[in-house]
Structure 1
Amino acid sequence: MSMSDLKARDLMKTKITSVRPDEKVAAVDLLMVRKSLGGVPILQYETDKLVGIVTQRDMMLSRFRTSIAGMTVENLMTKNPITVSPDVSIKELLGLMLSHRIERLPVIDNGKLVGIIEPDSILKAVYQTISSDPKI
């Protein structure tokens, strides 16, 4: 498989830790630290629809607020994050990530979160692709 053949489905992680909008910022921060997560998708209760994403950067910035006690991730998350379908090319998804300065890209199929693309999953796929090329 060449680099230009790579799609979101080839790069995405499918084991996703997600949280609900009403979870406390402190609890989600602890979860992210314990699981070494750079970000977590926020899913709506009734539908499991992606409604937001919260990142380590969001958590770091929240520490400078005067009162985060009792605050929920709904107040902190990026609402309606940029997403891609599983068939989006690596070129297109990298373009989105660079132009919007984001490190996590949720993958949505038929309205459901099916994966997430993160920097390490991209690096792994790139490494595997160039490692199998005898010219490199």
Structure 2
Amino acid sequence: MLIGTILRGKGSGVTTVTPDATVRELLAQLAEHNIGAVVVSADGATIDGIVSERDVVRRLHDRGAAILDEPVSSIMTVEVRTVGPGDRVDELRKTMTQHRFRHMPVTENGRLVGIVSIGDVVKSAIEELETEKASLVDYLHR
């Protein structure tokens, strides 16, 4: 299965925040959209970074509650790995597991076109297994 197949099913909407948004504003976005990470983007199309709940928790532990009024740019991950719509989900699953990522932005021609979570990847694996099972059951009943 390809990443683009996941995006067709879930949609290509991506919640973003600007680098100068406060961590408090970031938390409001995470809560409002019930998500675990957002892409940091000054223009909504290019990627400046990514920030997750884990990033917030780690910085709270390191620096205290003062980070809530700091800009997102002070806690975001700057080196962001991305995938394309034509990349394979099984390769993404390996990368996410190996590097302990839970969210991966999807880009095409340098532009943000979606985001895939580990939940999306697991859901696609289950769907593939169910399809294979149905095919095997059908084959056995012929």
Of 47, 63, 77, the residue aligned with 1:50 is 47
Deviations 1:57-86 (A, max 9, x none): 011123222321530101110003111111
Question: Structure 1 residue 23 and structure 2 residue 18: aligned?
Answer: no
1:1-136 equivalent positions in 2, closer than 5 A: 6-12=1-7, 13=10, 14-45=12-43, 48-64=45-61, 65-66=63-64, 67-133=66-132, 134=134, 135=136
Deviations 1:31-76 (A, max 9, x none): 212221110001123x731110000101112322232153010111
In terms of Rg, which structure is larger?
A: 2
Q: Does 64-73 or 49-58 show the bigger shift?
A: 64-73
Specify which structure has the higher proportion of helix.
Answer: 2
- Structure 1: 5+ residue stretches without partners: 1-5
Higher relative contact order (CA 8 A, sep 6+): 1
Structure 2 counterpart of 1:7, one-letter code:
L
- Structure 2: 5+ residue stretches without partners: 138-142
Compute the TM-score of the two structures, normalised by the length of structure 1: 0.85
Quote the RMSD (CA, aligned, Å).
1.7
Following TM superposition, by how much is the alpha carbon of 1:30 offset from its aligned partner in structure 2, in angstroms? 1.9
Compute the TM-score of the two structures, normalised by the length of structure 2: 0.82
- In 1, Cα distance between the equivalents of 2:96 and 2:40? 19
Residue identity (%):
27
2:140 aligns with: none
Q: Contact 1:50–1:80 at 8 Å: present in 2 too?
A: no
- In 2, Cα distance between the equivalents of 1:119 and 1:96? 11
Q: Contact 2:20–2:73 at 8 Å: present in 1 too?
A: yes
**Runs of 4 or more above 3 Å deviation:** none
Q: Does 13-22 or 72-81 show the bigger shift?
A: 13-22
